[in-house]
Amino acid sequence: MPEAKTAKLRAHLDLFTGDMDSEVARLVALDASELVPASEEVAGHLGFRATVMADPEGSEFCIVSR
């Protein structure tokens, strides 16, 4: 969209993968940013590891794996 982001996105995506490192690297190569590296602190209480990412517009999403 041509308009700049003006507020935090109200939706949050959690995208599941079987290979966290490869998926994060692929997304970074597509201009996503890694905000919080993979850890159990983000979703450990649910038995998952998650990496918090942002798209080029700054909208946050997570890459999640077991």
The β-bridge relationship of strands 49-54 and 60-65 is antiparallel
The pTM score is: 0.76
- Structural domain boundaries of the chain? 13-65
Q: What is the C-alpha to C-alpha distance for residues 3 and 22, in angstroms, rounded to an integer?
A: 31
What are 35-49's pLDDT values in tens digits?
A: 998 876 666 677 788
Query: Within 1-66, where are the H helices?
Result: 20-29, 40-43
CATH architecture of 13-65: 2-Layer Sandwich (3.30)
Per the document, the length of the chain is 66
- Reading the block at residue 40, the tokens are 């159990």
Helix, strand, or coil here: 52?
Answer: strand
What confidence tens digit (pLDDT) does each residue in 5-39 have?
666 667 889 999 999 999 999 999 999 999 998 87
12-18-20-25 Cα dihedral, nearest 10 degrees: -100
